[in-house]
Structure 1
Amino acid sequence: MAARVPDPGDPQRTGGSPGPGGEPGPYGEPDGAPGSAVPSEANDDSRVAAAPAPARVPDVAIRRLPVYLRALEELRAEDHEIVSSADLAARTGYSSEQIRKDLAYFGAFGTRGVGYRCDVLVDRLRHILGLDREVPIALVGAGHLGTALVRYNRTRHRDVRIVAVFDSDPGRIGQEIEGLVIQPAEAMEAVIREAGIKLAVIAVPAAAAQEVARRLVEAGVTAILNFAPVSLQVPPGVVVQNVDLTLELQSLAYYIRPEPATG
């Protein structure tokens, strides 16, 4: 069985975010609270449709869904037609109970004693996540990190796709990355509004990140992936997920530290 996969880092959300160790989430409940119903793979997926996302889904549960989706897509590529929560647990490191509980927030999908139809569950998770259509993304900051992000995204992804890149450096403006012309930062609001972009990536220095976030929000962006090493202040209704490579490496250093001296 795969090693336990830690929950993804909590997103910054104006309504609060779930804390470590089962602390209350944004809706006042810990994820996996005792007494919450955890169904088995109980209902025939041909008879029970997935429900719309309810208002009380914990952020951490939403952030686990893409992990399940990736595992399901791998299993489907290996010609698995039926999968169980135990199969998903082996691939993801999450427990079968946790997987069933997360899926149950959105309806009932499986057949008791049999499992889930892999292709059906893939399609439903993609629909729940909004990946059954192309999600356009704006990226601000075309330095080394931003360039690498664009190249990876444009060659690997067809659903969440960077469609516009902005930078304030005159030396970068007009250059191309994977077919996208780097546009001046001054054009950011107009382009984002015209394209209806709601998701953006910030890959600028810390000193510039807050102003970039403010401008993105004013242009209509409601979800931000932030690579700048700074906490962003955003209004209610805007979600920020922070990716700080330094913090990630510092936490990993704990696991390779020398044993503490004794005596």
Structure 2
Amino acid sequence: MSVLVVVPARFASSRYPGKPLVELAGASGLKKSLIQRSWEAAMAVDGVARVVVATDDDRIRAAARGFGAEVVMTSENCANGTERVAEAFNALGGGFEISVNLQGDAPLTPAWFVEDLVAGLRADPVAEVATPVLRCDGRALNALLADRRAGRVGGTTAVFGWDRKALYFSKEVIPYTGATYADDEDTPVFHHVGCYAYRPSALAAYPRWQAGPLERLEGLEQLRFLERERPMLCVEVPARGRQFWEVNNPEDVPRIEAMLAEMGVE
């Protein structure tokens, strides 16, 4: 019943080259790289047998080893984090019940997001993959809408059915509401948290599939599962007063630093 957490990181991001090594200041002004903060988030998760950073870049490997992370080198041909997790899983010899992809641009991922995600997948005998979703309050929804108006992709939203199985993910803000919400008001929009839990069968199948048209258009790796009609469970996770955001663009750095300061994270 062991759990592997992989933090995939690549240097050659199309939107933000060198992103894993960008430094983020915490509450006291202490700066740590994005990959270190994401690795520390992974290390805080309970019930995990092993945490590794998976990369194809020597600069990221050196930085990760410098702050004490175990590193697995993967191919530069990996198209996304899921392919990189699959390669790392195989390089480690497999044997894990569940593998988690905690993406290297998500340092604000609370431990309970991952713990609830793993518990949700274990409890669902049908799903091969699970991913967390976070109900947006008005503040988060307004931030997503502001990014889209400015021509930026600030996050991904998710819609799912009555059985919590994913229907679609988009970099547009879906569903359309046409309403205005107060900062602390719940909305019907769910922010997709960039984290996945996979059974071994899902990791074995995914790299063999070609990317479909929806994945190519949206640039969202999880759509490959939906285009193959593989069930993906959406696990709603509680915010518990925390804000969540990922580093997608250089403009996100001050936003993340402000959230770190608000939470008192060094």
Which one has more relative contact order, counting CA pairs under 8 Å at least 6 apart?
Answer: 2
Q: Which has the higher strand share?
A: 2
The higher radius of gyration belongs to 1
Q: TM-score, normalised by structure 2?
A: 0.30
Q: TM-score, normalised by structure 1?
A: 0.30
